[in-house]
A and B are shown apart, each in its own frame.
Chain A
Amino acid sequence: MLAQILINGLILGGLYACIAAGFSLVWGVLNIINLLHGTLVVAGSYGAWLAWRYWGLHPLVALPLIALASAGVGAAIQAGLLNRVVAAPVLITLVVTFGLDLVANNALLLGFGADYRSIRPTWTLGTAVIGGLRIPLDRAMAASVALAMTGLLWLLLRRSWLGRAIVAVRMDADAAGMMGIRVRRVYVATFALGTGLAGAAGALLGLVFPISPLQSEAYLGTAFTVCVLGGLGSVVGAAAGGLMLGLIESVATLYFGAEYASVTSFVLLIALLAIRPDGLFGRQGFA
């Protein structure tokens, strides 16, 4: 029983890590809480649904396209709107991203309605049973891809020129500017990376969960909680926080029932904020 909970929790956690990685990146580098994040995840799910419904594409095949498209949307938002308010007080950036979220969520509601949809690809891996443990292989694969993408982000931040520029801007935007980094462009690239990851996470989640615009709030809450659990602005923290939250929620589902699983994570969020606002692992440098 415990091993089964562990497996469910890890699968959930891998997906959560991917939801939170982009959110954490944007928060850490731009100091903007992107309230649009949850809706972007849902939009990614709808992208996967459309690709499956009309072109018969498996979400994994559609994933790169969806990631590119949502990165493009993100770049446009940052270049057109958010770059104007990057240095503004917290309230202003919160209000701007909230306004964008209202627009995007309303658009999804108009386009798709509030009822739940799901993707049922013809190609599935089925469920493996090992020693009495049931492992849903499709979900496990989605979680692995999610973790792999999170790892890719980590590599990108570590190894690539762009990644080093992002880290430099996070550490000291003024100094980075003086060293010849075009800070505004790095902001655009960072936000595009964050939204691209959100879209990609959405495509994977579409494979696992029912899709509805109403889900966006839950995804946003998940991203918050993971960031606070793992510590803000570190990819490793997002991965660790995501896995932890997945485990916690699957244990909470067992003991309190599914309807209290998300209450548990939000209460945990508030409690953690009160005790250790920098996350369980304290503040770490980016990547």
Chain B
Amino acid sequence: MRRLAAGMALLLAAAALLPIVGGPYALRIGMMLAMYISLASSWNLLGGMAGYPSFATAAFFGVGAYTGALLQGAGGPLPLAWAAGGVASALVAFVVGWVVLPLRGHYFAIASLAVVIVLRQIATNWTDLTGGGMGLNLPVLALGPEAQARMIYAAQAVVAVLATLVSVVVAGGRLGFSLRCIKQNETAAGMLGLNTRAAKATAFVLSGAIVGPAGAIYASSVSYIEPGDVFDILLTVEPIIMTMLGGVGTVFGPLLGAGLFLLLEQTVWASFLSVHAAVLGVLVVVLALFLPDGVLGRFRRARA
């Protein structure tokens, strides 16, 4: 445990140093890593700990991105726009969760996937608010490109640290215990007096609150969003792959998986742009067939 804490401290120090010593490329990679960590950790709360195969991540991301973009477009200060993205996503998670969380297994997976598609189509068709399929332009920030890159990186890093903290607290606390009980046998957990519904809803809302700001900051960083981009199904699936890579249901699995995924993305896919999705698909299949417990799980089994 002490080694782990030391590792975390080292990682944090590196993250804090990056804007001072790193160039634009390092900042970009750092920003993506932070965003991936947030997405994977948030999925892991319900998907990993409770075993609920949620496909709703892209819905939270898109809602956060659009909320942040609209507020920023209306002249709101950036931190407020980003926080509002989190609040909006948490609200959506609450309402959607109320409908889909009583479902189990395949039905839950499909319902959460359908939420993404519905929200994307609403964003496409509600032209007055969102600009429809034409997308939405954000005001250019009154900063130099380098200062902007540093700020965006710092913001995503803060979200990632918060996401990890939430994971640690949840995993060690009552909520994590409830979620793990739900994974093992939800009916039995309910009969023993666990409020399974509240536990699932809390985890879902927390996921929304983490993914929303990540989406809003992403919107600020690219200064142009469109429905197909921020409600992309891949945004839902990639965090699942990262978590599976690292280790489902563990606190550090999503961190490790996000790093490995980014490494793969930068090394392998950079050279195969047109078959990006296919390579990802092959990776996913191989992963699910041969490494369902992730790298951490394999490591533990080897030690045990």
Interface residue? A101 (CB, 8 A): yes
The interface on chain A, measured as residues whose beta carbon lies within 8 A of the other chain's beta carbons, has a size of 41
Please tell me which one of the listed residues B117, B118, B241, B285 contacts residue A100 in the complex, with CB atoms under 8 A apart: B285
Interface residue? B166 (CB, 8 A): no
Interface residue? B110 (CB, 8 A): yes
Q: Classify the interface of chain A: helix, strand, loop or mixed.
A: helix
- What is the bound-complex CA distance between A54 and B280, given in angstroms? 33
Taking the closest CB of chain A, its distance from the CB of B117, in whole angstroms, is 6
Taking the closest CB of chain B, its distance from the CB of A33, in whole angstroms, is 5
Which one of A90, A99, A269 has the greatest number of beta carbons of chain B within 10 Å? A99
Also in contact, A270 and B114, with CB within 8 A (given A91-B47, A103-B278, A262-B121): yes
10 additional contacts, CB 8 Å, given A106-B275, A277-B103? A88-B288, A94-B109, A95-B237, A95-B285, A105-B277, A107-B278, A217-B117, A228-B107, A269-B110, A273-B100
Taking the closest CB of chain A, its distance from the CB of B264, in whole angstroms, is 14
Interface residue? B106 (CB, 8 A): yes
Contact A92 B288 (CB under 8 A): yes
Taking the closest CB of chain B, its distance from the CB of A245, in whole angstroms, is 14
Q: Provide the residues of chain A in CB contact with B283, threshold 8 Å.
A: 99
Interface residue? B282 (CB, 8 A): yes
Can you identify 19 A-B contacts, CB atoms within 8 angstroms? A31-B106, A81-B289, A90-B53, A90-B105, A91-B47, A91-B248, A94-B53, A95-B240, A96-B289, A99-B288, A102-B280, A103-B278, A106-B281, A259-B124, A260-B125, A263-B125, A269-B110, A273-B99, A274-B103
- What is the bound-complex CA distance between A81 and B248, given in angstroms? 22
Interface residue? A52 (CB, 8 A): no
- What is the bound-complex CA distance between A224 and B108, given in angstroms? 12
Contact A273 B289 (CB under 8 A): no
Interface residue? A148 (CB, 8 A): no
Contact A103 B115 (CB under 8 A): no
Contact A95 B105 (CB under 8 A): no
Interface residue? B10 (CB, 8 A): no
Interface residue? A120 (CB, 8 A): no
Taking the closest CB of chain A, its distance from the CB of B231, in whole angstroms, is 12
Contact B118 A96 (CB under 8 A): no
Please tell me which one of the listed residues A91, A260, A263, A274 contacts residue B99 in the complex, with CB atoms under 8 A apart: A274
Contact B284 A95 (CB under 8 A): yes
Interface residue? B122 (CB, 8 A): yes
- Interface mask (B139-169 → A, CB under 8 Å = 1, otherwise 0): 0000000000000000000000000000000
Interface residue? A267 (CB, 8 A): yes
- What is the bound-complex CA distance between A263 and B126, given in angstroms? 12
Q: Provide the residues of chain B in CB contact with A273, threshold 8 Å.
A: 99-100, 103, 107, 110-111
- Interface mask (B237-260 → A, CB under 8 Å = 1, otherwise 0): 100110010001000000000000
- What is the bound-complex CA distance between A224 and B118, given in angstroms? 14
Q: Identify the 10 closest CB pairs spanning chains A and B, nearest first.
A: A102-B281, A99-B284, A106-B278, A103-B281, A99-B285, A99-B281, A106-B277, A91-B53, A95-B288, A102-B277
Interface residue? B292 (CB, 8 A): yes
Interface residue? B64 (CB, 8 A): no
Contact A269 B99 (CB under 8 A): no
Q: Provide the residues of chain A in CB contact with B77, threshold 8 Å.
A: none
On B, residues with C-beta under 8 Å from A are 47, 51, 53, 99-100, 102-103, 105-107, 109-111, 114-115, 117-118, 121-122, 124-125, 233, 237, 240-241, 244, 248, 274-278, 280-285, 287-289, 292
Contact B244 A263 (CB under 8 A): no
Q: Provide the residues of chain B in CB contact with A102, threshold 8 Å.
A: 277-278, 280-281, 284
Contact B118 A267 (CB under 8 A): yes
- What is the bound-complex CA distance between A273 and B108, given in angstroms? 9
Interface residue? A180 (CB, 8 A): no
Can you name the residue of chain A whose Cβ is closest to the Cβ of B236?
Answer: A98
Contact B274 A110 (CB under 8 A): yes
Q: Provide the residues of chain B in CB contact with A182, threshold 8 Å.
A: none
Please tell me which one of the listed residues B53, B117, B240, B287 contacts residue A221 in the complex, with CB atoms under 8 A apart: B117
Can you name the residue of chain B whose Cβ is closest to the Cβ of A110?
Answer: B274
- What is the bound-complex CA distance between A98 and B280, given in angstroms? 10
Interface residue? A266 (CB, 8 A): yes
Interface residue? A283 (CB, 8 A): no
Please tell me which one of the listed residues A81, A85, A109, A269 contacts residue B114 in the complex, with CB atoms under 8 A apart: A269
Please tell me which one of the listed residues A33, A109, A259, A267 contacts residue B106 in the complex, with CB atoms under 8 A apart: A33
Can you name the residue of chain A whose Cβ is closest to the Cβ of B111?
Answer: A273
Interface residue? A126 (CB, 8 A): no
Contact A89 B51 (CB under 8 A): yes
- What is the bound-complex CA distance between A81 and B284, given in angstroms? 12
Q: Provide the residues of chain A in CB contact with B118, threshold 8 Å.
A: 263, 266-267, 270
- Interface mask (A178-200 → B, CB under 8 Å = 1, otherwise 0): 00000000000000000000000
Contact A98 B284 (CB under 8 A): yes
Q: Provide the residues of chain B in CB contact with A98, threshold 8 Å.
A: 237, 281, 284
Contact B275 A110 (CB under 8 A): yes
- What is the bound-complex CA distance between A273 and B237, given in angstroms? 22
